[in-house]
């Protein structure tokens, strides 16, 4: 199947007419029509049925609380790979001003305030909290193995891992609560129209974790106005403040072991551009040492 073509079996089963391809990486999206209305068709790439059901559950419950999120229509196709969603109005803002960032932080705080009511759905299959990512012995073993291939990259990744662990191991996180995270609360997933905030997209990475872990794709290491806006709605405690950077780095290190395994087992050479660029970002707000290099 071509990446931009909907199979005829899906068109027939959902009674839709393709309008245009909207894009996507692992999960792909199309604008389609049915009975005079427009919808978004989503194809789930490699996610298991449990992972897809988890995402749909979060969407349905957030919608019930009044959040403008894509609502699944009818049911998944029989192969559990295609689902029809409501089409939300608006578009992402191109404004990246301090005020726009502050509003983004406020929205994230309001999202967490409501998503905390969803804790009964548990953790998503294959996901874990930031501290569990950092304490995964498989990550250390993978980096040690990769050091023989690319010592400079392995050293950079391991240095940030050790720094994050030093912070997190010195804090008592037993009383730190969890929420259901969005997982990609970036500006491109927030829609606005003439009336204001109109939609929140892409719950592909939703899971249970520390609320500050959701800063990863919103704050991104130096967009401090997002944290300011968040605290205007929901102040952070001292432990959460201390964990912002380690949780951000945990997000960046989350797929490292998998990438290294893919290299050794299947010959897939890893691209570390994203990890390297973001791990080296430093915020004026947080006193994290500069990476000393080798």
Residue 143 is predicted with a pLDDT of: 97
Q: Identify whether the C-beta of residue 207 lies closer than 8 Å to the C-beta of residue 250.
A: no
SS3 category, 30: strand
Residue 85 is predicted with a pLDDT of: 96
pLDDT tens track for 182-239 = 999 999 999 999 999 999 999 999 999 999 999 999 999 999 999 999 999 999 999 9
For residue 24, name the pLDDT band (cuts at 50, 70, 90). confident
Task: Answer whether residue 263 shows pLDDT above 50.
Answer: yes
What is the CA angle 290-274-211, rounded to 5?
Answer: 80
Tell me the C-alpha distance between 213 and 210, whole Å.
Answer: 6
Tell me the C-alpha distance between 19 and 192, whole Å.
Answer: 23
For residue 291, name the pLDDT band (cuts at 50, 70, 90). confident
Calculate mean pLDDT across residues 19-47.
92
Task: Answer whether residue 1 shows pLDDT above 50.
Answer: no
Tell me the C-alpha distance between 239 and 284, whole Å.
Answer: 19
pLDDT tens track for 50-105 = 999 999 999 999 999 999 999 999 778 888 899 999 999 999 999 999 999 999 99
Return the H-helix or E-strand segment holding 168: helix 151-169
Closest by CA to 289, choosing from 159, 151, 174, is 159
pLDDT tens track for 4-14 = 889 999 999 99
Residue 110 is predicted with a pLDDT of: 98
| Beta strands 207-209 and 179-181, pairing class | antiparallel
Closest by CA to 207, choosing from 178, 177, 180, 247, is 180
Calculate mean pLDDT across residues 25-30.
90
pLDDT tens track for 136-167 = 999 999 999 999 999 999 999 999 999 999 99
Tell me the C-alpha distance between 28 and 36, whole Å.
Answer: 23
Tell me the C-alpha distance between 200 and 279, whole Å.
Answer: 27
Residue 90 is predicted with a pLDDT of: 96
Tell me the C-alpha distance between 148 and 291, whole Å.
Answer: 21
Q: Identify whether the C-beta of residue 147 lies closer than 8 Å to the C-beta of residue 264.
A: no
Length of the chain: 294
The Cα-based distances of 205 to 26, 112, 184, 240 in angstroms read: 12, 15, 7, 21
For residue 294, name the pLDDT band (cuts at 50, 70, 90). low
Task: Answer whether residue 175 shows pLDDT above 60.
Answer: yes
């Amino acid at each position: 199947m071509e990446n931009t073509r909907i199979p005829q079996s899906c068109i027939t089963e959902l009674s839709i007419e393709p309008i245009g391809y909207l894009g996507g990486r692992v999960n792909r999206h199309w604008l389609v029509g049915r009975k005079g209305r427009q919808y978004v068709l989503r194809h789930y790439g490699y996610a298991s049925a449990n992972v897809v059901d988890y995402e749909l559950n979060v969407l349905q419950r957030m919608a019930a609380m009044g959040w403008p999120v894509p609502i699944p229509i009818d049911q998944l196709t029989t192969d559990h790979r295609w689902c029809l969603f409501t089409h939300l109005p608006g578009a992402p803002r191109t404004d990246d001003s301090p005020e726009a960032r502050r509003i983004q932080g406020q929205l994230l705080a309001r999202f967490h305030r409501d998503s905390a009511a969803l804790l009964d759905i548990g953790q998503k299959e294959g996901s874990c909290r930031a501290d569990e990512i950092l304490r995964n012995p498989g990550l250390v073993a993978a980096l040690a193995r990769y050091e023989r291939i690319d010592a400079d990259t392995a050293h950079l990744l391991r240095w940030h891992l050790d720094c994050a662990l030093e912070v997190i191991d010195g804090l008592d996180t037993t009383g730190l609560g969890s929420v259901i995270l969005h997982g990609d609360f970036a500006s491109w997933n927030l829609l606005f129209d003439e009336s204001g905030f109109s939609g929140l997209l892409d719950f592909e990475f939703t899971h249970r974790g520390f609320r500050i872990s959701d800063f990863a794709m919103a704050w991104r290491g130096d967009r401090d106005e997002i944290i300011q806006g968040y605290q205007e709605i929901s102040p952070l405690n001292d432990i959460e403040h201390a964990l912002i950077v380690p949780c951000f780095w945990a997000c960046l290190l989350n797929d490292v072991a998998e990438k290294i395994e893919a290299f050794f087992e299947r010959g897939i050479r890893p691209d570390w551009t994203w990890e390297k660029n973001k791990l080296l970002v430093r915020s004026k707000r947080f006193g994290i040492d500069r990476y000393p290099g080798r």
